[in-house]
Structure 1
Amino acid sequence: MVANALLRPISLGTIELNNRIGMSALTRSRSHSTYPTELMKEYYVQRADAGLIVSEGLLITRQGTEWPRAPGIWDEDHVEGWKSIVTAVHHAGGKMYAQLWHLGRLSHPDAPEQKLASVPVYGPSAIAARGGKFRHLPGTPGYVKPTSIDDPWVLVAQFKQAAVNAKQAGFDGVELHGGTGYLITQFLDNTSNKRTDQWGGSVENRSRFGLEVLKALVEVFGRDVAVKLSPTGGYNDVGMPLQETLETFTYFISEADKLCLSYIVLLRHSPRYDPVYEDGVHRATKHDVLESYGHLIKHAKVYINGDVTPGEGQKLVSEGKVDGIFIGLGYIAHPDLVKRIEHGMPLDNTADIEHFQTEEDDDDSSKGYTDYSTRF
């Protein structure tokens, strides 16, 4: 019997994982013109003993992101690049999901990829988010007022094609990025979605876009589809009053769970995702996401994310409150994270994490990426 509950194997969709410690999606800005590189392969293989690796967010279409060198998965060259990485992770004994990502209103028209796309910045409604810092654009341009999406079914089709591409690349499944203020959240949230058609207004209508995307992904991957949600909001200027938040996410999670997904990961409140804007008020709606929504998940596995320590994760799994945990920032500085947990050793590379993503980073930089010290 394995003493540490995090190290027990688990069935996830149609695959078996060696442990319950997931590496969450982390934007690391090392792709070359949106295409995966050999350095990225080294990075992921270093961490292949995670129960499940979720890739950094993969753009499903050209978008002007805040981060230069964010990777995509919309053409054949992307597929071939990711196939090389996934194959290497598999050879190292790991499993890997692709996180599918669309920024919606958080793109910028002056960013290089958005210019190449020759399309406007889209959102559910023509409402700009507050904030915004585009590291590769001069000054601090902030977010722009988006063009309201005319036909959301076009975006659903783009998500489905991205899933087809991910399957061709050999990923074990896909995770829909449904949190932290990006496109799925923008439809869910009544502060960013003021539509009066079938995609806005009621809880059911605001939930429609994310649920239709999940259905499209299930058509491609079957049970090997997951979704990441951040019900407390805050980050990227989203968030509703508590009662509206509870009603919206209770409905969405209940309906998503009927699709028999592999897992639903709940990102809990974290100060780093809770900005204060000009009104001086924290944007997030703080509440216990596990207590509020965990019991609604009957078919999928339940994962928790957001400053979860290994000790806390072990306790939550042992008590049956979650099936597994995702660790983000801790995985940056600790490629040997699973072995450290197995041997009861601390995650003590904390000082090094400050340089994980700097203004000087480029697609050839191993600094703060593949150069962290290990104990095993």
Structure 2
Amino acid sequence: MSPETASLFQPLELGNITIRNRVGMSALTRNRAPGTVPNDIMDEYYVQRAVGGAGLIVTEGILITRQGTEWPHAPGIWNSEQVSAWKKITNDVHTAGSHIYAQLWHVGRVSHPDAPEQKLAGVPVYAPSAISARGGKFRHLPGLPGYVTPTAVDDPWTIIKQFKEAAANAKEAGFDGVELHGANGYLITQFLDSNSNKRTDQWGGSVENRSRFGLEVLKALIEVFGKNVAVKLSPAGGYNDVGMPLQETLDTFSYFITEADKLNLAYITLVRYSALTDVEFEGKKRATIHDIVESYRHLIKNAKVFVNAGVTPEEGAKLISDGKADAISIGFSWITHPDLVKRVQHGKPLNNIPDIPHLQWGKSEKDLRVGYTDYPEAEY
């Protein structure tokens, strides 16, 4: 083990569990669950990465209800068949020596009424306000349509209840905790962002009101999981057409993070600005570029802090040594290196070549392993 990365390999207490190292695997949507039910190929995928040394695995986004997301074949957690399938995965991950959180996901306005799952749901596309996002790539629908104008949710408490029910299912499925997906322009962010939330009731307007929905969801999750609740945030915005002026961004996320930290969360993941998830409209980038760690880390007094987005093991070790993070969350490199932590420990390069055409789907429904579980380990 290199002295430069030694800080990554200390155990870390999260809620009421202790993870074996400080290298987490972030949520990575992989579209391998036809019919929304996890399967044996997904089990193989997660177990590979548990064996490969992940301290904490966060699942791909798990839909709390049927939604016509632009990511087809995403898994859900609203029925007993899904719970049973996830339970096999959590058991196997635990046997392999790792811990696993379920990332709970509601995409809000970036869904589509013509998508198969939205049709099966029999409900409109819901969002804080009837304001559509620009962009969208629903490749599985004819004509490559973009986002549509959503229906403003009448009573946000109904969705908060759905989050709580999903958490109860996640607990039954054996997850160690849950991470609320509050990043990337999905429903939590849509309530936080003043461009997507124009409500005039208790759920919109002021910073406090726009923060209310996400905070109430976290409280509902805590009622189920206690200390083992986390949230992922991407204050820079950009992706899925969110982002506010800098001062409004700082005011909004500073308040939200401060209040969330009072809830005794296990951790808060701060997602740094990434050009890969920024979008451009009318010649302008959408994100509000600022230093996420410098702007918000000092506000977090109770939860552990994960830093995500483009973090290398070497940089992550320095962030931890400097007190700017307690752990790091790596995404893309975990896709291509099931043994990522082992490689870092043994000084092996992260040199597998990504199978770009098959990242989100295999060669066919009968061959989902391609680009998913067929990346080789290093020789040790």
TM over 0.5: yes
Structure 1: how far apart are the matches of 2:209 and 2:228?
25
3-state SS of 1:56 partner? strand
In the alignment, the residues of structure 1 paired with residue 16 and residue 9 of structure 2 have an alpha-carbon distance, to the nearest angstrom, of 19
Is 1:147 the equivalent of 2:151?
yes
Match of 1:161 in 2: 165
Is the contact between residue 362 and residue 368 of structure 2 (CA under 8 Å) also seen in structure 1? no
Residue among 194, 197, 209 paired with 1:193:
197
SS at match of 2:109: helix
In structure 2, the partner of 1:40 is 42
Following the alignment from structure 1 to structure 2, what is the Cα–Cα distance between the partners of residues 14 and 363? Answer: 40
| 1:347 equivalent in structure 2 | 350
Deviation at 1:294, TM superposition (A): 0.1
After the TM superposition, which residues 54-203 of structure 1 pair with which residues of structure 2 at under 5 Å, given as runs? Answer: 54-203=58-207
The total of aligned residue pairs comes to: 375
The equivalent residue for 1:210 is 214
Quote how far apart the aligned CAs of 1:318 are.
1.2
CA distance in 2, matches of 1:339, 1:205: 45
CA shift for structure 1 position 355: 3.7
Which of 364, 368, 378 is matched with 1:365 structurally?
368
Take 1:62 and 1:249, find their aligned partners in 2: how far apart are those partners?
A: 29
Paired with 2:240 and 2:167, the residues of 1 have a C-alpha distance of 25
Percent identity of paired positions between Structure 1 and Structure 2 = 67
Q: TM-score, normalised by structure 2?
A: 0.97
Q: Find 1:260's aligned residue among 261, 264, 284.
A: 264
Of residues 231, 245, 253, the one that matches 1:227 is 231
Deviations 1:58-103 (A, max 9, x none): 0000000111110000111111010010001011111000000000
Task: Give the Cα–Cα distance (whole angstroms) in 2 for the partners of residues 268 and 341 of structure 1.
Answer: 22
Matching residue of 2:11? 9
After TM superposition, list the pairs within 5 Å mapping 1:243-254 onto structure 2: 243-254=247-258
Report the alpha carbon displacement of residue 359 of structure 1 after superposing the two structures with TM: 7.9
The answer to whether the 8 Å contact 1:69/1:363 transfers is no
d(CA) in 2 for partners of 1:358 and 1:30? 7
CA contact 1:30–1:364 (8 Å) conserved in 2: no
Q: Which residue in 1 is equivalent to 2:33?
A: 31
Match of 2:313 in 1: 310
Mark the runs of 5 or more structure 2 residues left unpaired by the alignment.
none
**1:331 paired to 2:334:** yes
SS of the counterpart of 2:316?
Answer: helix
Amino acid at match of 1:301: K
Partner SS, residue 266 of structure 1: strand
Distance in 2, matches of 1:313 and 1:233, equals 22
Alignment CA distance shift 1:40-1:237 (3 Å) = same
Instruction: Note if contact 1:32-1:363 (Cα within 8 Å) is conserved in structure 2.
Output: no
Which residue type is aligned with residue 62 of structure 1?
R
Structure 1 distance, partners of 2:357, 2:318, is: 28
Residues 30 and 363 of structure 1 are in contact (CA less than 8 Å); yes or no, is this contact kept in structure 2? no
Instruction: Output the amino acid matched with 1:291.
Output: E
When structure 1 is superposed on structure 2, of 268-277 and 252-261 the one drifting more is: 268-277
Shift of 1:364: 4.2
Give me the whole-angstrom Cα distance separating, in 1, the residues matched to 2:89 and 2:367. 16
Cα distance per residue 1:94-122 (max 9 Å; x no partner): 10000000000011000000000110000
Classify the secondary structure of the residue corresponding to 1:375.
coil
1:374 aligns to what? 377
Deviation at 1:320, TM superposition (A): 1.3
- Note the aligned Cα RMSD (angstroms): 1.3
Segments of 4+ moved more than 2 angstroms: 350-355, 357-364
Q: Deviations over 1:317-371 (max 9, x none)?
A: 1111100000000000000000011012221114445642258553741011000
Rounded to whole Å, the distance in 1 between the matches of 2:103 and 2:159 is 16
Of 1-10 and 54-63, more deviation after overlay is shown by 1-10
CA distance 1:363–1:101, shift in 2 (3 Å): farther
TM-score, scaled to structure 1: 0.98
Equivalent pair of 1:268/1:306 in contact (CA under 8 Å): yes
Report the equivalent of 1:320. Answer: 323
Distance 1:26 1:141, change over 3 A: same
| Cα distance between partner residues in 2 of 1:280 and 1:165 | 44
SS at match of 1:326: strand
